[in-house]
Amino acid sequence: MLSVNLSMTEVTTAANFSFGPAEVFTGRPEYAVIVPTIWALLVILGVIGNGLVIYTLSKNGETTATNCYIVNLAIADLTFLVVVIPFTASFYATPVWIFGDFMCKFAMYMIYVTLHATSFTLTAMTIDRYHAIVHPLSSMNWRNRKISTITCIFVWAVAFFISVPFALYHKTVTEEEDHTYCQEAWPDETLGKVILITVTGTNYVLPLTIIVICYYQILRNLWRGYRRKTERSINSAVTSETQTRRKKRMTRMVAIIILLFATFWFPSHVINIYTKLYPEFPRTEPMFIIKVLAHTLSYANSCVNPFIYAFLNDRFKKSFVKTFPSLSYWFPCMRNIIEEMEHTRTTNMVDQAIQAGADDNDNDHVEENCNHIQLQKLQETSLL
């Protein structure tokens, strides 16, 4: 692979955002088109997906704690896509900062705000799932829309507060040939390294640790319940098979939640820590491509969240069908819900018709009894 000359500093994204001279290869200008184009597609997909989630649950969603967290996660992902990708994509197309000093601070600040809001919301959702499954009775009193809304507000408040240093210590810098860049401005290099490690801990290591612990307890609880029920119904093949399917579905869902979150963000965090702690990090074209792929993967996490947290939820599917009845037929994942809802609607209509017929028969019987009583009274009167 061709080795090329790079600028004296680098642009990094995800955990260590800085808009300095980019790793743009002077001999390969196609990167200035390919990278922004791919990221623009991610923005479109993410905006549509998260937008549908927010609109659907706001209009026809149930007022549950889970739906509140799903909406908040969609808002965080949507904000992340809108704030992060346009600035980074424009920098790959034009490797200078053209948005001024205020937008330099604001962009850096909002990038970290949305990063923390996303990971904190994911953690809150996991804790909510833990209490719903492991402590279903004791958590019934506080697992509601009001508490989840307060939790979401608290998540954003912490995210705004913890991200303040990135607004204070970023500014525009003019270097050779009057090129302006948006760069870090830490008082010393050690502080910058400490901040990077801390951020990696707060928006990746700590949330992932909590998620793993919670879902370990969830699986443990489900497995114990499965064994107890199986022992009680050892002669019931239907019950055993149902419990097995339920266990497998939950295991798959847990695996998707944990693996996607960990996998999509792991390469980006590793690369950013390595480049920050080891200045001799090789600046070659293969490493440039690896970094772009890593950051693209982390961006994609905000696009797939609507699918893994909402579109795999049958209640959301029902809300989606109610909100977009015509559009739902274009999604294969909605067909079983559509058929189920149509079957339920048909069954209800038949039940109503039967009930109406029964009511008519009852009315006829009552009317017949009334006429019979009136006839008896007339006969008694005539005898008198």
Query: Can you read off the two tokens belonging to residue 139?
Result: 């958590």
180 phi, psi to nearest 5 deg = -105, 135
Question: Distance (Å, rounded) from C-alpha 120 to C-alpha 206?
Answer: 10
Nearest one of 240, 331, 288 to 48, comparing CA atoms: 331
Helix 189-200 to helix 237-277 angle (10° resolution) is 170
Residue 158 lies in a domain: yes
User: What is the span of the domain harbouring residue 367?
Assistant: 331-384
Chosen domain end from 312, 327, 342: 327
Q: Are residues 353 and 337 in the same domain?
A: yes
3-state class of 184 per DSSP? strand
Residues 296-325 pLDDT 10s: 998 898 888 777 765 677 788 888 888 988
| Residue 181 within any structural domain of the chain | yes
Residue 4 domain flag: no
Average pLDDT along the chain: 78
In a domain, 1, yes or no: no
Lowest mean pLDDT among 5-9, 57-61, 300-304: 5-9
In the predicted model, is pLDDT for residue 83 greater than 50?
A: yes
Examine the domain organization and report whether 278 and 345 are in the same domain.
no
Tally the C-alpha atoms within 13 A of residue 97's C-alpha that lie toward its C-beta. 24
The verdict on 41 and 64 lying in the same domain is yes
Ordered alpha helix ranges (H), 135-236? 145-162, 164-168, 189-200, 206-232
Same domain, 233 and 136: yes
Rounded Cα distance, 92 and 199, in Å: 24
| Last residue of one domain, picked from the residues 282, 309, 327 | 327
Task: For residue 224, give the CATH number of its domain.
Answer: 1.20.1070.10
User: Do residues 304 and 373 both lie within one domain?
Assistant: no
Residues 196 and 260 in one domain: yes
For the full predicted model, state whether its pTM sits above 0.95: no
pLDDT mean over 331-350: 76
Least-confidence region, from 60-64, 160-164, 281-285: 281-285
User: What is the mean predicted confidence (pLDDT) over 52-74?
Assistant: 89
Query: 3-class DSSP state for residue 182?
Result: strand
Say yes or no: 77 and 186 in one domain. yes
pLDDT of residue 65: 87
**Burial readout 9-21 (b: 16 or more C-beta within 10 A, e: otherwise):** bbbbbbbbbbbbb
245 pLDDT band, cuts 50/70/90, is low
Interacting residues of 21 by C-beta distance below 8 A, sequence separation 6+: 7, 8, 9, 10, 11, 95, 175, 179, 181
At 8, is the pLDDT very low, low, confident or very high (cuts 50, 70, 90)?
very low
362 shares a domain with 343: yes
Cα(122)–Cα(110) distance, integer angstroms: 18
Whether residues 337 and 320 fall in one domain? no
Is residue 26 in a domain?
A: no
Average pLDDT over residues 132-145: 85
pLDDT digits (tens, 9 = 90+) for 341-372: 877 777 767 666 666 655 555 555 545 555 55
Q: Are residues 320 and 345 in the same domain?
A: no
* Predicted confidence band of residue 260 (pLDDT cuts 50, 70, 90): confident
Burial 133-168 (b: 16+ CB within 10 A, else e): beeeeebeeebeeeebbebbeebbeebbebbebbbe
Percent share of the chain, pLDDT over 70: 74
Q: Residue 26 gets which letter from DSSP?
A: T
Compute the distance between CA of residue 378 and CA of residue 384 in angstroms, rounded to an integer. Answer: 10
The structural domain count of the chain equals 2
Spell out the residues 6+ positions from residue 88 whose beta carbon is closer than 8 angstroms to its own. Answer: 11, 13, 17, 19, 39, 295
Element (H, E) at 173: strand 170-174
The one-letter amino acid code at 98 reads I
